[in-house]
DNA sequence: ACCCAGGTGGCCC
DNA sequence: GGGCCACATGGG
């Protein structure tokens, strides 16, 4: 049986919903190829404060124009930011997000050359670098790290906050406080973090 | 005609 | 450090 409330919560969610596999969101089944990882990274921006469906519509537009890789987006933005913005329009806040996407792809390509190298980066340093980019806050940075790059960082979002409140884990809603709380009580394992967060979202949507 | 959705930055105090 | 606002779409 679970030693603490948080790993116990994971067990309960697993018992209730089973293994989340890829069901939590289309663009974020556990990516296997670098191409899928790039899609996850792009999706992390597109879903900010957006209905998933709308983020998917934006991704579909990018796909239709063969603009789903980091390099494609960077080159398109370099040439025509307005075109990039129009493609992702369904995701909302699209002018801002076009700028965010361009900045993120530029960072990854210029600073690291691509996914292969960025995956080797030291985690703490990379997280700081991501947070320094415009439009990348803690949740987006950690989603990129956890789901795009398989780094062991626990993602906190609105669903996690609601759950923590509901299960009386804490009243504190602060991002890094909650992140530390979950990480402290779990084995440091990106697979576990991925599955747990997925289950939290599934449960949050289910109990609405 | 509202209200909401897996956020972030900028400003104010 | 916390409170408030802008950013924008598609669906219920």
Footprint of strand C on the protein (CB under 7 A): A 49-51, 53-54, 57, 89-90, 92-97, 174
Q: Which of A28, A127, A114, A23 is nearest to A71 (CA)?
A: A114
The Cα A26–Cα A67 span in angstroms is: 18
Q: For chain A, what is the mean pLDDT?
A: 92
pLDDT digits (tens, 9 = 90+) for A176-207: 999 999 999 999 999 999 999 999 998 998 88
Cβ–Cβ < 8 Å for A73, A88:
no
- For B5, nearest residue by CA–C1' is A51
Structure-token pair, residue A167: 């299960």
Distance A142 CA to B1 C1' (A): 37
**Chain segment A133-154, per-residue pLDDT in tens:** 999 999 999 999 999 999 999 9
Residue A25 confidence class, pLDDT cut points 50, 70, 90 = low
Q: What is the pTM of this model?
A: 0.95
Picking from A92, A87, A36, A25, the residue whose alpha carbon sits closest to that of residue A62 is A87
pLDDT score recorded for residue A22: 59
The Cα-based distances of A164 to A107, A153, A167, A207 in angstroms read 34, 17, 5, 14
């Amino acid at each position: 049986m679970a030693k603490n409330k948080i790993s116990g919560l994971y067990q309960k969610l697993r018992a209730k919903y089973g293994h989340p596999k890829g069901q939590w969101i289309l663009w974020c089944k556990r990516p296997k190829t670098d191409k899928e990882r790039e899609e996850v990274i792009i999706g992390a921006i597109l879903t900010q404060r957006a209905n998933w469906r709308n983020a998917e519509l934006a991704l579909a537009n990018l796909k239709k124009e063969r603009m789903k890789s980091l390099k494609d987006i960077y080159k398109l933005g370099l040439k025509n930011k307005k075109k990039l913005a129009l493609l992702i329009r369904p995701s909302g806040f699209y002018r801002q997000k076009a700028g965010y996407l361009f900045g993120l792809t530029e960072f990854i390509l210029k600073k690291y050359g691509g996914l292969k190298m960025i995956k080797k980066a030291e985690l703490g340093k990379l997280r700081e670098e991501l947070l320094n980019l415009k439009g990348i806050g803690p949740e987006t940075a950690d989603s990129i790290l956890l789901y795009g790059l398989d780094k062991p960082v626990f993602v906190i979002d609105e669903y996690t906050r609601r759950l923590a409140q509901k299960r009386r884990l804490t009243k504190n809603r602060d991002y890094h406080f909650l992140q530390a709380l979950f990480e402290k009580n779990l084995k440091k394992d990106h697979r576990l973090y991925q599955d747990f967060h997925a289950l939290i979202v599934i449960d949050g949507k289910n109990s609405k």
